[in-house]
């Protein structure tokens, strides 16, 4: 029987497939690295899209350009391929430019599949009970701690004199200004008007409290100087700063957590510990 002739593959096909598989492997590695560094949803999605797109593109080119499309018609499917198809397959697999003999194709395909498989194992880490107490600690601990300086929104250290009477100054922990549970505010009050001593203490009337409302975590932004109260604009909770930020109106049931502070040797305000209670919505602290 005459041996079927296999048409040569178009030039550059091998390189296109290799580049596709390498792009897939790079995407998988990028996903694993992004997830391992803490994760960022948009970049993880982009990396996975590149990984699967590269793999799909390489396999599509391989199947379309390197695997012959037979022109055989069978009445009904049999268990044994017809002789012509067997001869064509043998010719393709044994030819010098056979797809399975092309240098680098199988190796890069294996690399792409291996990288995807390894990257898929990374999310499993979140499901393993290696540290069951970690979520609880994440809710209870903030970047505040002994010796952490109070910074303004533009990153300047805060001195006691930078907090004028009757004004509220937003403060953030040094080294943790981006933390969502760390924002606080400092305000100077008349100490003789305290009906309940601040649980975190005060410096000649200067007190610091978490800015997160204990109802749903909205920022408490409105300060009524005459009454010494701060209001949450989301659900109208009101807190009395002269009574240790106890809630006096609205749905909030817990007082605002206080932050203990002192004046450091350099004259700047420093925290002496964390908030007196977990900041933010009250239901986060339930166990």
Instruction: Quick: pLDDT tens for 43-72.
Output: 989 999 999 999 999 999 888 877 766 655
Instruction: Indicate the average pLDDT of the chain.
Output: 83
Q: Which long-range contacts does 18-22 make (Cβ < 8 Å, 24+ apart)?
A: 18/58, 18/104, 18/105, 18/108, 20/54, 20/55, 20/57, 20/58, 20/61, 21/54, 21/55, 21/58, 21/105, 21/108, 21/109, 21/111, 21/112, 22/54, 22/108, 22/111, 22/112
pLDDT of residue 103: 64
Instruction: Quick: pLDDT tens for 143-153.
Output: 888 999 999 88
pLDDT over 70 at 175, yes or no = yes
Of the candidate ranges 97-111, 188-202, 211-225, the one whose mean pLDDT is the lowest: 97-111
pLDDT over 90 at 173, yes or no = yes
Helix 41-61 and helix 105-121, axial crossing angle in degrees, nearest 10: 150
**What residues does each domain of the chain span?**
13-128, 136-287
pLDDT of residue 2: 46
pLDDT confidence bin for 287, thresholds 50/70/90: very low
In CATH, the number for domain 136-287 is 2.102.10.10
């Amino acid at each position: 029987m005459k041996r079927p002739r296999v048409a040569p593959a178009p030039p550059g096909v091998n390189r296109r497939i290799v580049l596709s598989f390498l792009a897939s492997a790079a995407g998988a590695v990028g996903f694993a690295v992004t997830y391992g560094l803490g994760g960022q949803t948009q970049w993880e999605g982009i990396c996975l899209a590149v990984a699967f797109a590269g793999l799909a593109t390489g396999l599509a080119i391989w199947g379309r350009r390197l695997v012959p499309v037979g022109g055989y018609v069978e009445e009904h499917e049999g268990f044994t391929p017809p002789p012509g198809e067997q001869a064509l397959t043998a010719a393709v697999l044994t030819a010098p430019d056979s797809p399975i003999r092309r240098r680098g194709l199988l190796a890069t395909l294996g690399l792409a599949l291996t990288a995807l498989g390894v990257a898929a194992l990374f999310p499993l880490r979140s499901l393993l009970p290696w540290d069951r107490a970690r979520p609880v600690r994440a809710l209870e601990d903030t970047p505040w701690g002994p010796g952490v300086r109070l910074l303004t929104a533009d990153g300047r250290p805060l001195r006691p004199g930078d907090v004028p009477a009757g004004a509220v100054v937003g403060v953030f922990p040094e080294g943790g200004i981006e933390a969502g549970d760390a924002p606080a505010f400092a305000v100077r009050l008349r100490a003789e008007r305290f009906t309940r001593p601040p649980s975190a203490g005060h410096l000649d009337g200067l007190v610091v409290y978490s800015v997160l409302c204990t109802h749903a975590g909205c920022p408490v932004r409105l300060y009524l100087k005459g009454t010494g109260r701060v209001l949450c604009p989301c659900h109208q909770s009101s807190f009395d700063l002269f009574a240790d930020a106890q809630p006096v109106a609205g749905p909030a049931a817990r007082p605002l957590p206080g932050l203990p502070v002192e004046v450091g040797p350099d004259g700047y305000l420093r925290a002496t510990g964390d908030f007196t209670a977990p900041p933010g919505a009250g239901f986060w602290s339930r166990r």
